[in-house]
C-alpha cells in the first residue's frame, strides 16, 4: 500500500525515474534501496562479471542446517547505481529478478490521476478507464467493469471509481502473487523469508511453516523500526553534525585563505612600494653625489685652466724676452720675471684622481659623556663622527642622521634632540632631559644603527642650591661627647644644640644638619653630599 499527502504537496520525484526522467515503468529496487525502471537497469553497463554467490542475496540453508552445495557457481553481474555510485550485484535471473517497488507503482498511478492523464482499460485496451479493481490492480472501462461484476471469481472484488481515488489522494491495494495472478500475498513463509499466496502455500511451500501476514508483520516491522530508531537515526544525526562541521571548516578555510591572500597582496604592494621608495632614495643620493663631485671637478678644472693660462703667459713672455730683448732689457726685467716664473712652478699643485669611499655606519664613532650620563634639566651633548669603510672621517656632511631618546620604562617620555651638521663628517647632538631615569638612545645614519646603538643613558636628578644654615653635628663630630656644642647658638627641634637627631644607635660619622629647621624632624645630611665639612662652622649654600 502507499500513502501520500495533499495532491499539490506530493513529491513528484517519488513517481519519476532519475535515469529516464519519466514515470516509472516496472520499477525495481536495487540492493542499495534506489529504484529505477526495469528497462533502465537492463541498459546499465556491467561494472564487473564474476562467478560466485550473490553477495546481496540471503544465504539459504537446507533442512539439516547445512548450506547446499551448488553444482555450478552462478555468474554474477555487478553494476554501479546511477544515484549513489555503489557497486550492486544483480540476481542470476537478471534485472527482472529484483524486487518490485510497489510504492513506486502507487505513486505512478496517483501521479497519473493528478495530471488527469488518459488511462486506458487494461482489459480491452479500447475504452477509457473509469474504475479500478483493487484486487486485480487493473483499470476498467464501463463495459469491462460490468463484465468484471458478472464473473463469479471477481464478483466480490473491491472496485473504486478513479475520480474518488483522485479526490482521496490515497491508494490502498493488495500485493498480488507473481506466480498466481489474482491471488493476494496474505501469508509469509518463515523458512523462505518470502510473502506467499494461498496457492503457493498449498503447493510450493506445503512443507514450510506459513503464517498470516498480519501475525508476523509486528515482529518484522519492529525489527526494521528498531534498526532505524536505535542505530540509523543516531548515525544520521552524527553524520549531519559532522557534515555541518566539515562545511563550517570549509567556510572557515575559505575565509582564512581569502584573508591570507589579501595579506599577501597587501605585503606585496607594500614591499613593492618600499622597494620603489628605496630606489628613488638611492637615485636621489646618486644625483646628490653626482652634483657634488661634478662641482668639485668643475672647480678643479677652472683652477687648472687658470694655472695653464698663467704658465702659458709666463712662458710666452720669457721666450719673447730671451729672443727679442737686449742684454740690458733682459737684466732689467730679470727680477720680476724670475719671481713670476718661480711662483708658477711651485704655486699650482697637480690634482690627480678623486677617490670616494661610502659611509659605513658600523665604522661611525661617538664622542662625549652626554651619551651615557646626563643631569635632569641640564643640556647634554655628544658628537657623532661619520667614517667610511676604511675608518677615515668623512670630509663632508649632508648625511641623514636620526637620534631618538626614549625613556625605557615610560614609552611616552621622549626627549627632543637637535643635530647640527659641522660639514666635516661630524655632527653635534644636543638634548635636555626633563625627567630622571634610564633612557635608550638610538643613533642611526641613513636608516642604519651605528655600532653600539641603541645606547643606555642614565639621567640623574638635578643638583639644587640649599640656602639654609648648616652646622656640624656636635655629638657625632666630637666622637660622642655629650658636652660638645656647635659654634652657633642655634637649636634644633626638641631643644638640642646640633642636628637634633636621635643618636641612639647612630654610627657616629661626621654629618651636617640644618639649623633652626621648622620641620618636626630635621634631616641629617651625610658628609659625602656636602662639599665643605668644618666642625662648628656654618655653610649657608650647599649643592645637594
Per-residue pLDDT of 70-91, as tens digits, reads 455 678 889 999 988 888 889 8
Spatial distance between the Cα atoms of 408 and 527, rounded to a whole number of angstroms = 33
Q: Is the pLDDT of residue 354 over 60?
A: no
Angle in degrees, 0-180, between the axes of helices 233-324 and 334-346, rounded to the nearest 10: 160
Q: Is the pLDDT of residue 46 over 70?
A: yes
Please report which confidence band the pLDDT of residue 251 belongs to, taking 50, 70 and 90 as the band edges: very high
Q: Percent of the chain beyond pLDDT 70? A: 73
Mean pLDDT for 262-268 is 94
Mean pLDDT for 278-303 is 91
User: Distance of CA 120 to CAs 93, 129, 147, 170, 322, Å?
Assistant: 31, 5, 16, 20, 147
Mean pLDDT of the chain: 77
Q: Is the pLDDT of residue 537 over 50?
A: no
Cell numbers at 453, concatenated: 646603538
Phi, psi dihedral angles at 399 (to 5 degrees)? -80, 150
Spatial distance between the Cα atoms of 408 and 456, rounded to a whole number of angstroms = 9
Please report which confidence band the pLDDT of residue 260 belongs to, taking 50, 70 and 90 as the band edges: very high
Residue spans of the domains in the chain: they are 16-49+75-168, 365-460, 468-543
**Of the candidate ranges 14-18, 108-112, 219-223, 390-394, the one whose mean pLDDT is the lowest:** 108-112
Question: Side-chain half-sphere of 490: how many Cα atoms within 13 Å?
Answer: 24
Please report which confidence band the pLDDT of residue 341 belongs to, taking 50, 70 and 90 as the band edges: confident
Regarding predicted confidence, which is higher, 50 or 302? Answer: 302
Give pLDDT, residue 11: 57
Contact 192, 168 (CB under 8 A): no
Cell numbers at 38, concatenated: 526495469
The C-alpha cell 493528478 sits at 114
Interior/surface letters 26-38, b for 16+ CB within 10 angstroms, e for the rest: bbbbbbeebbbbb
Task: Tell me the CATH architecture of domain 16-49+75-168.
Answer: 2-Layer Sandwich (3.30)
Cell numbers at 171, concatenated: 491508494
Other beta carbons within 10 Å of 143: 13
Q: Is the pLDDT of residue 2 over 80?
A: no
Q: What angle do CA 161, 166, 169 make, to 5 degrees?
A: 125
Q: Is the pLDDT of residue 520 over 50?
A: no
**Percent helix, strand and coil across the chain, each to the nearest 5:** 35, 20, 45
Q: Is the pLDDT of residue 64 over 50?
A: no
Q: Is the pLDDT of residue 18 over 80?
A: yes
Query: What CATH topology corresponds to 365-460?
Result: Immunoglobulin-like (2.60.40)
Regarding predicted confidence, which is higher, 489 or 382? Answer: 382
**Of the candidate ranges 251-255, 461-465, 470-474, 514-518, the one whose mean pLDDT is the lowest:** 514-518
Give pLDDT, residue 497: 46
Q: Is the pLDDT of residue 416 over 80?
A: yes
The DSSP symbol for 8 reads: G
Q: Percent of the chain beyond pLDDT 90? A: 23
Q: What is the pLDDT of residues 135-176, one digit of tens each?
A: 776 778 888 888 888 887 777 777 877 777 766 655 556 677
Spatial distance between the Cα atoms of 56 and 131, rounded to a whole number of angstroms = 40
Give pLDDT, residue 171: 59
Q: What is the pLDDT of residues 461-477, one digit of tens each?
A: 875 554 444 445 555 55
Q: What is the pLDDT of residues 266-275, one digit of tens each?
A: 999 999 999 9
Amino acid at each position: 500500500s502507499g500513502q501520500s499527502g495533499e495532491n499539490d504537496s506530493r513529491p513528484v520525484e517519488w513517481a519519476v525515474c532519475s535515469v529516464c526522467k519519466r514515470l516509472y515503468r516496472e520499477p525495481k529496487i536495487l540492493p542499495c534501496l534506489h529504484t529505477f525502471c526495469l528497462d533502465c537497469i537492463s541498459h546499465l553497463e556491467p561494472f564487473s562479471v564474476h562467478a560466485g554467490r550473490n553477495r546481496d542475496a540471503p544465504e539459504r540453508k537446507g533442512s539439516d542446517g547445512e548450506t547446499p552445495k551448488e553444482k555450478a557457481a552462478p555468474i554474477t553481474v555487478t553494476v554501479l547505481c546511477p544515484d549513489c555510485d555503489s557497486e550492486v550485484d544483480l540476481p542470476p535471473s537478471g534485472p527482472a529478478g529484483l524486487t518490485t517497488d510497489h510504492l513506486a507503482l502507487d505513486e505512478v498511478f496517483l501521479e497519473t490521476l493528478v495530471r488527469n492523464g488518459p488511462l486506458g482499460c487494461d482489459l480491452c485496451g479500447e475504452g477509457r478507464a473509469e474504475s479500478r479493481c483493487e484486487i486485480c490492480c487493473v483499470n476498467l472501462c464501463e463495459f469491462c467493469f460490468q463484465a468484471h461484476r458478472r464473473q463469479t471469481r471477481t464478483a466480490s472484488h473491491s472496485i473504486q471509481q478513479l475520480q474518488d481515488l483522485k479526490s482521496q489522494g490515497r491508494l490502498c491495494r493488495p500485493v498480488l502473487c507473481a506466480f498466481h495472478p489474482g491471488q493476494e500475498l496474505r501469508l509469509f513463509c518463515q523458512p523462505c523469508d518470502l510473502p506467499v499466496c494461498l496457492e503457493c502455500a498449498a503447493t510450493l511451500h506445503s512443507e514450510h511453516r506459513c503464517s498470516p501476514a498480519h501475525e508476523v508483520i509486528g515482529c518484522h516491522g519492529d525489527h526494521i523500526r528498531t534498526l532505524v530508531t536505535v542505530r540509523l537515526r543516531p548515525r544520521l544525526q552524527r553524520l549531519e553534525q559532522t557534515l555541518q562541521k566539515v562545511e563550517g571548516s570549509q567556510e572557515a578555510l575559505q575565509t582564512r585563505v581569502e584573508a591570507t591572500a589579501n595579506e599577501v597582496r597587501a605585503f606585496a604592494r607594500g614591499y613593492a612600494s618600499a622597494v620603489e621608495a628605496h630606489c628613488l632614495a638611492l637615485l636621489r643620493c646618486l644625483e646628490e653625489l653626482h652634483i657634488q663631485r661634478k662641482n668639485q671637478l668643475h672647480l678643479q678644472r677652472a683652477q687648472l685652466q687658470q694655472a695653464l693660462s698663467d704658465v702659458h703667459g709666463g712662458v710666452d713672455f720669457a721666450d719673447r724676452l730671451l729672443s727679442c730683448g737686449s742684454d740690458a732689457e733682459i737684466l732689467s726685467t730679470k727680477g720680476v720675471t724670475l719671481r713670476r716664473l718661480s711662483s708658477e712652478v711651485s704655486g699650482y699643485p697637480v690634482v690627480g684622481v678623486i677617490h670616494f669611499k661610502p659611509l659605513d655606519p658600523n665604522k661611525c664613532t661617538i664622542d662625549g659623556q652626554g651619551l651615557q650620563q646626563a643631569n635632569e634639566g641640564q643640556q647634554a651633548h655628544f658628537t657623532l663622527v661619520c667614517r667610511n669603510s676604511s675608518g677615515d672621517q668623512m670630509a663632508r656632511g649632508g648625511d641623514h642622521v636620526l637620534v631618538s631618546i626614549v625613556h625605557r620604562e615610560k614609552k611616552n617620555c621622549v626627549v627632543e634632540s637637535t643635530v647640527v651638521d659641522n660639514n666635516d663628517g661630524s655632527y653635534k647632538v644636543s638634548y635636555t632631559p626633563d625627567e630622571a631615569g634610564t633612557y635608550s638612545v638610538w643613533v642611526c645614519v641613513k636608516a642604519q644603527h651605528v655600532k653600539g646603538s641603541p645606547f643606555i643613558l642614565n639621567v640623574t636628578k638635578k643638583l639644587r642650591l640649599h640656602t639654609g644654615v648648616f652646622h656640624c653635628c656636635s655629638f657625632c663630630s666630637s666622637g660622642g661627647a655629650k658636652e660638645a656644642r656647635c659654634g652657633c647658638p642655634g637649636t634644633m627641634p626638641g631643644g638640642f644644640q646640633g642636628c637634633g637627631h636621635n643618636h641612639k644607635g647612630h654610627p657616629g660619622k661626621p654629618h651636617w644638619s640644618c639649623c633652626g629647621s621648622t620641620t618636626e624632624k630635621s634631616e641629617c645630611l651625610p658628609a659625602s653630599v656636602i662639599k665643605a665639612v668644618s666642625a662648628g662652622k656654618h655653610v649657608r649654600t650647599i649643592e645637594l
